[in-house]
Amino acid sequence: MQKNKKIVFLVSFCLIAVSILPAQDLHFSQFFNSPLTTNPANTGFIPDADYRIGAHYRNQYSSILSTPYKTMSVYGDAQLFRDRIENGWLGLGGLILSDVAGSGGLRSTKIYGSIAYHQQLGNSSLLSAGFNVGWANKRIDISKLSFPDQFDGKFFDRDLPSSVVLNTNSVSYFDMQAGLNYAYFPTEDIYVNAGYSIHHVNGPQETFFSGSVDSSRIPMRHIGFINALLKVNDRVIINPNIYYTNQAKASEFVMGLNANYNLAGEGGEKQLIAGLYYRAGDAVIPMVGFEIKNIRFTFSYDVTTSALNNFNNLQGAHEFNVMKKGFYSESDSRQVMCPKF
């Protein structure tokens, strides 16, 4: 009985997932380690370095799906013209996203270029504005799909005819995001940052079916966040984060903090990282990592707390991020705008 219940659940879950995937964006639990997907105004917004490059990997629902959702990204951004613009600079960056969802072979590929301008307001605050533009593609392997009218009560039979007709198996479109950031750093030990961004501002159309333009437009996604870096002492810096996003009828709220512990004295070349986050109504997310010579590795795990834990045994998703930050010159002695060891 329990086995049949699980099969029914998985069938329902997969059908629901296929129906909503075209309308919902990709997301990472470590949103704070994915700056360019969170807000294009983060481009070149690097308080403790001149440039950064990184890679991100997420694997979700591997405990209940034979083909789990896999999301990967590679990104990089840099600060330019700091010596030419008084109390300001330009940020340039790029991002590649790839996602594979479910046994139907639904694949997403997105490539974005972003630009932002950052201007200091006095000696203790900074205002940033940015946008990105890019190309997105979604494609699906129709031969791997099963539809509701192919379910015989026990199994899906792909040999049965289906009334579902896809107009195309690949769709591409132009996409655009815009955002604002504000940072406040009154002392060397306190740094506070808040931002807001709007995604899909041009309302691109995305559908595999024929239909009206308005019904297949991607709804705008709103993202707001606030974080801080607080230096407790020469060994510890804490980093609280709050994140909220809303798209159509879907929303997500995440809050928590991580802490860096300095293992190497002055300079902080070796650090341990530990954190704990909570996604409201869905998961508790512990995180661990370490940093050595400006290369940071972090791993997090989504422990499911919703009703889904009856089927996945608390096993939600795991994420891995690696990020490298650096300066253009070893002799660069410009002001660092956030707490450091």
What are the residue boundaries of the structural domains of the chain, listed by start?
2-326
The amino acid at residue 180 is L
- For the record, the structure tokens of 251 come out as 């929303």
Q: pLDDT value at position 26?
A: 79
Residue 203 contacts by C-beta under 8 Å, 6 or more apart in sequence? 217, 218, 220
How many CA atoms lie less than 13 Å away from 182 in the CB half-sphere?
A: 6
Q: Which residues pair with 134 in a beta bridge?
A: 112, 175
Q: pLDDT value at position 168?
A: 81
Q: pLDDT value at position 242?
A: 97
CA-CA distance, 170 to 212, in Å (whole number)?
17
Q: What is the DSSP string of 83-94?
A: TTSTTEEEEEEE
For tokens 């479109």, name the residue.
173
CA-CA distance, 322 to 298, in Å (whole number)?
7
Q: pLDDT value at position 125?
A: 95
Helix (H) or strand (E) holding 7: helix 2-20
Give the closest residue to 279 by CA, choosing from 20, 26, 29, 70.
29
- pLDDT by residue, tens only, the chain of 341 residues: 444 444 444 444 444 344 334 445 778 999 999 999 999 999 999 998 999 999 999 998 666 566 778 899 999 999 999 888 888 999 999 999 999 876 667 889 999 999 999 999 988 999 999 999 999 999 988 777 766 666 766 766 666 667 677 778 889 999 999 999 999 999 999 999 999 999 999 999 888 877 666 668 899 999 999 999 999 999 999 999 999 999 988 999 999 999 999 998 777 789 999 999 999 988 999 999 999 989 999 999 999 887 666 655 656 789 999 999 999 886 555 667 888 88
Q: What is the four-CA torsion angle of 24, 25, 29, 34, rounded to 10 degrees?
A: -170
CATH superfamily of this structure's domain 2-326: monomeric porin ompg (2.40.160.40)
CA-CA distance, 15 to 26, in Å (whole number)?
18
CB 190 within 8 Å of CB 230: yes
Q: pLDDT value at position 106?
A: 83
